[in-house]
Structure 1
Amino acid sequence: MRLLHTSDWHLGRSFHGVGMLEAQRSFVDQLVAAVERESVDIVLIAGDVYDRALPGVDVVHLLDDALVRLTAAGAQVVLTSGNHDSAIRLGFASRLLERGGVHLRTRVEDLDQPLLIPLGTDAAGEDATLALYGIPWLEPRMVADQLGVDTASHFEVTRAATGLVRADIARRAASATVHSVVLAHTFASGGISSDSERDLSIGGVGAVPLDLFDGFSYTALGHLHGRQKLSESVRYSGSPLAYSFSEAAHQKGAWLVDVGPEGVASVAEVLWEAPRPLAVLRGPLEELLADPAHAWAETAYCQVTLTDGQRPARAMERLRARFPDTLVLAFDPQGAAAPAEASYSSRLAGAPDDLAVCCGFLDHVRGRDADPAERAALAAALENVRLSEVSR
């Protein structure tokens, strides 16, 4: 039995104001091709299939198209909800969809209701079964009573959820060999986060310990956007696309998991091709514009930090002349004179005239003195104001 572990599709998300629906369609194309090429039996989606609880119509159509194409390629789909999804909306028509090979696990009531797949006979002559469980995103305050826990914390509700799964495995193991795969959307301790995930709680208190997943044959985690291995049997697939510049160095992909009568036989990576590279550039403006080493970034989405001592004029305009898709511009002046200790208000009080006040304001808000043309424009504007007042 071959599984493909994915998560965090975030359909409908934008990237610094740029729509990503076409890039997400490209990912779906790659996913379907991988299912066909690798003869995948089951696609796992460990939460955050949508980016928001109320996705747009075109976004819903994209998921619909993806599920139709995956099942037509011969794969079943097991899908849990994440913290970006509406579990109720995503779980609509789950019993009907199950008949078509799409298995939704979005409710607490379904935690111990696995998808069961026969694996044949193991070396001891016992019938072996693959049991796939889905643990959706559990909001502690919403599910604590339902799970029978006194403390509404991520640790307690996740421990209760995995306890229900273990109890069901134990019941089934009395009559057959059971190999368990658990999908869970959570922040497990040891995972490396990036800027595009929503914090589960302030200060990382919501992270759950890794040993909550001990004993499962494979745990397919979702929530963190970097593909990573926390242990041999506990992994994050990461998001299929980069959703922040902190993910510029990520190699996006998924995990291909082979499970047989003896358990998990192998785990291998599957890589996705990025539709557009990300570039994180830093340095003085003139160097960035002239350095041939940055030629590759001319077709990338760019985040640029300028280190000029004073903010260059028309910085974004000039950057986009070479790097058209510069989406983020920041300034970190290096070597600039230390700011005066006097407050802005005290400096303003000591200004000799109105022109000095205006030029001082420009310097204060942008870190660069007014150039001669700007000083002339300000002087002309002030003179017009003076003449207007005199003529009244």
Structure 2
Amino acid sequence: MKILHTSDWHVGKVLKGQSRVGEHRDALAQVVEVAQAESPDLVIVAGDLYDTAAPTPESTRLVTRALSALRRTGAQVVAIGGNHDNGPALDALRPWAEAAGVALRGSVRDNPAEHVIDGSTADGEAWRLVALPFLSQRYAVRAVEMYELTAAEAVQTYADHVGRVLGRLTEGFDEPDRVHLVTGHLTVVGAQAGGGEREAHTVLNYAVPATVFPTGAHYVALGHLHRAQQVLGPCPIRYSGSPLAVDFGEEENRPSVTIVEVTARTAARVREIPITAAAPLRTVRGTIAELAELTDTTAWLRVYVREAPRAGLREEVQDLLPRALEVRIDPEMLPSTGAAARAAQRAGRSPRELFGDYLDTRGQADDGVRELFDDLFEEATK
């Protein structure tokens, strides 16, 4: 059978105030084009369909249309909730999803059978997919209890709980004439973060060892980390990565989807297909003169200016580079602020004097900035 594995769409993401809805629309359209060209039997979307738990109506339309379009390619489609998604809200969409032929699992249900999805290819090859949405630490304990496994103990870790739940759901993965698959939204020890993930859900307390996955799995399709990568483990484990860079920390990532070809008796063969529809993200450094020579008009830019701070510098850079979303002074151009900052005492000092001290510690000698502060302070205190 052939599988298209994608994840971490983060529809609705706003980057430094810049809406990227058009880029998301184009990137997901390219994912659908890949599905049309590859004709997979199954499409797995491994979580974080949205960037926020309260997506806009526009974001909801974009996601539901993308899932419907993937289903119209003839593939069976399974999507799970991620840590950015609102699991119960995704579950509320299940009547629509079932009518559209999409298996949507937003959060962990009381019935384990809800997370075991059986299917077969057009050629009659049977497959089973365990679909595990994101589990918070608190909910992981409840999931263990409601699946009637060993009682949760205070000393047990998040990894213990996830391992127990997966062990329960993957019972029967030893059947020889079926392709066994797992999809989840979590961090595996040893994998590399992509750069834009929510740190609270990628730190050690949320990391699980690859050994939580059974040796009988033919392929594990993961979401959560935005960098496409293989993870060493007892079976083939892979993150597809995001189809577009969602933050400047991800500018070195390869936006892509993963195509997997596997049978019940042969190992998974994996290949990446680039997704190039969204604008790249780049960090650039230089003086105003050097920045004026940049010719890239397609990327969103984070700019570090190698000049002393002065009034109007940000506007000057943005006039030169309209796609500059973030403009900062290069840290190497700033003097050390420790001793000077500590020397400034608040007691008995006027706001103008305190602001002047701050400017001095930042190497800011432009009198126009001080005058602007005076005008603003006078206006605010009238």
Same fold (TM over 0.5): yes
Instruction: For 1:161, give the aligned amino acid.
Output: V
User: Aligned with 2:356: secondary structure?
Assistant: helix
Instruction: For 1:114, give the aligned amino acid.
Output: V
**1:241–1:252 contact (8 Å) kept in structure 2:** yes
Q: 1:331: how far off?
A: 2.2
- Go from structure 1 to structure 2 and tell me whether the alpha carbon gap of 1:241 and 1:145 turns closer, same or farther (over 3 Å shift): same
User: Aligned with 1:167: secondary structure?
Assistant: coil
- Go from structure 1 to structure 2 and tell me whether the alpha carbon gap of 1:200 and 1:154 turns closer, same or farther (over 3 Å shift): farther
Aligned residues: 364
Once residues 219 and 105 of structure 1 are traced to their aligned partners in structure 2, the CA distance between those partners, rounded to angstroms, is 17
2:360 to 358, 361, 364: 364
Partner of 1:117: 119
Partner of 1:133: 130
**2:52–2:84 contact (8 Å) kept in structure 1:** yes
Residues 89-124 of structure 1: CA deviation (Å, up to 9, x unaligned): 112253663464211233244545422234699xxx
Q: 1:30: how far off?
A: 0.6
User: Aligned with 1:367: secondary structure?
Assistant: coil
User: Aligned with 1:177: secondary structure?
Assistant: coil
- Go from structure 1 to structure 2 and tell me whether the alpha carbon gap of 1:346 and 1:26 turns closer, same or farther (over 3 Å shift): closer
User: Aligned with 1:254: secondary structure?
Assistant: strand
Partner of 1:227: 228
Partner of 1:237: 240
1:32-47 to 2 correspondence within 5 Å? 32-47=32-47
- Go from structure 1 to structure 2 and tell me whether the alpha carbon gap of 1:6 and 1:333 turns closer, same or farther (over 3 Å shift): closer
Between structure 1 and structure 2, the one with the greater Rg is 1
- Go from structure 1 to structure 2 and tell me whether the alpha carbon gap of 1:284 and 1:196 turns closer, same or farther (over 3 Å shift): same
Residues 24-46 of structure 1: CA deviation (Å, up to 9, x unaligned): 11112111111111112211001
**1:119–1:261 contact (8 Å) kept in structure 2:** no
Q: 1:165: how far off?
A: 2.4
Once residues 50 and 338 of structure 2 are traced to their aligned partners in structure 1, the CA distance between those partners, rounded to angstroms, is 49
User: Aligned with 1:180: secondary structure?
Assistant: strand
Identity %, equivalent residues = 29
- Go from structure 1 to structure 2 and tell me whether the alpha carbon gap of 1:346 and 1:185 turns closer, same or farther (over 3 Å shift): closer
**2:335–2:361 contact (8 Å) kept in structure 1:** no
User: Aligned with 1:155: secondary structure?
Assistant: helix
- Structure 1: which 5+ residue stretches go unaligned? 122-126, 385-392
Partner of 1:332: 330
Instruction: For 2:360, give the aligned amino acid.
Output: H
- Structure 2: which 5+ residue stretches go unaligned? 146-151
The question of 1:311 aligning with 2:309 is answered: yes
Instruction: For 2:161, give the aligned amino acid.
Output: V
User: Aligned with 2:44: secondary structure?
Assistant: strand
Q: 1:363: how far off?
A: 2.4
The question of 1:25 aligning with 2:21 is answered: no
The question of 1:88 aligning with 2:88 is answered: yes
Once residues 147 and 262 of structure 1 are traced to their aligned partners in structure 2, the CA distance between those partners, rounded to angstroms, is 32
- Go from structure 1 to structure 2 and tell me whether the alpha carbon gap of 1:110 and 1:274 turns closer, same or farther (over 3 Å shift): farther
Over the aligned positions, Cα root-mean-square deviation in angstroms equals 3.2
Partner of 2:144: 147
**1:8–1:49 contact (8 Å) kept in structure 2:** yes
Residues 179-203 of structure 1: CA deviation (Å, up to 9, x unaligned): 2110010011111113421124585
Residues 202-240 of structure 1: CA deviation (Å, up to 9, x unaligned): 852211111212411100010011111113711101111
Give the stretch that moved more between structures: 215-224 or 320-329.
320-329
